[in-house]
Amino acid sequence: MIKRQQEQSTILKLEGVSRNFGGLQALTEVSYRVPEGIIQAVIGPNGAGKTTLFNCISGLIPVTSGRIFFRDTRIDNLPAHRIASLGISRTFQHVALFKNMTVLENVMVGRHVKSHSGFMACGFRLPFMRREERDIRDRAYEFLKFVGLEPEARKPAGSLPLGKQKILEIARALATEPTLLLLDEPAGGLNAAETEELGELIKRIKNLGITVMIVEHDMNLVMEYSDRILVLHFGHVLAEGTPSEVKNDEKVIEVYLGTTEAC
Ligand SMILES: Nc1ncnc2c1ncn2[C@@H]1O[C@H](COP(=O)(O)OP(=O)(O)OP(=O)(O)O)[C@@H](O)[C@H]1O
Question: What are phi and psi for residue 215, nearest 5 degrees?
Answer: -90, 120
Q: Tell me the residue range of the domain where 250 lies.
A: 35-87+178-262
For a mutational test of ligand 1's pocket, the pick from 52, 53, 219, 237, i.e. the residue with the most ligand atoms closer than 8 A to its C-beta, is 52
Hey, whose CA ends up nearest to atom 2 of ligand 1? Answer: 21
Chain centroid, CA 5 distance in Å: 24
Read off the DSSP letter of residue 86.
H
Q: What is the pTM of this model?
A: 0.89
Three-state DSSP class for residue 221: helix
Q: Are 233 and 258 in contact (CB under 8 A)?
A: no
What local confidence, expressed as pLDDT, does residue 127 receive?
A: 62
Which pLDDT belongs to residue 97? 86
Spacing, Cα 60 to ligand 1 middle (Å): 14
Indicate the residue among 144, 177, 210 that finishes a domain.
177
In the prediction, which pLDDT does 108 show? 92
Residue nearest to atom 8 of ligand 1 (CA): 52
pLDDT for res 207: 97
Cα–Cα distance measured from residue 39 to residue 181, given in angstroms and rounded to the nearest whole number? 10
Using CB atoms within 10 A of its CB, is residue 230 exposed (0-12), middle (13-18) or buried (19+)? Answer: buried
How many A from CA of 111 to the centre of ligand 1? 30
Q: What is the pLDDT of residue 119?
A: 53
Instruction: Let me know the angle formed at the C-alpha of 156 by 154 and 157, rounded to the nearest 5 degrees.
Output: 110
**Blockwise average pLDDT, block size 10, the chain, 263 residues:** 60 98 96 97 95 97 97 95 95 85 91 59 60 85 95 95 93 95 93 94 97 96 96 96 95 75 48
Number of domains in the chain: 2
Answer whether residue 62 is part of any domain.
Answer: yes
| Position in ligand 1 atom list of the atom nearest CA 55 | 18
Helix axes 103-112, 127-147, angle to 10 degrees: 120
Inter-residue contact 27 to 47 (CB < 8 Å): no
Whole-number Å distance, alpha carbon 234 to ligand 1 midpoint, is 10
**Residue where a domain terminates, one of 177, 199, 227:** 177
79 domain residue, yes or no: yes
182 and 78 in a single domain? The answer is yes
* The pLDDT of residue 263: 46
User: Which pLDDT score is estimated for 1?
Assistant: 44
Counting from 1 in the atom list of ligand 1, the atom nearest the Cα of 19 is: 12
Pocket lining for ligand 1, CB < 6 angstroms: 21, 24, 26, 44, 46-52
Q: What is the pLDDT of residue 96?
A: 81
Mark whether 133 and 77 lie in a shared domain: no
Structure confidence at residue 82 (pLDDT): 94
Report the pLDDT value the prediction gives residue 260, as an integer from 0 to 100: 44
Interatomic CA distance for residues 236 and 132, integer angstroms: 46
Within this chain, do residues 184 and 257 fall inside the same structural domain, yes or no? Answer: yes
Kindly state whether residue 121 falls inside one of the protein's structural domains: yes
- 229 sits in which H/E element: strand 228-233
141 CA to centre of ligand 1 in angstroms:
36
Burial readout 150-188 (b: 16 or more C-beta within 10 A, e: otherwise): eebbeebbeebeebbbbbbbbbbbbbbbbbbbbbbbbbb
From the list 93, 122, 92, 105, the residue with the least C-alpha distance to 156 is: 105
CA of residue 231 to ligand 1 center, whole Å = 15
**The domain spanning residue 232 has which CATH number?**
3.40.50.300
Separation of CA 3 and ligand 1 centre (Å):
37
Q: Which helix (H) or strand (E) holds 16?
A: strand 10-21
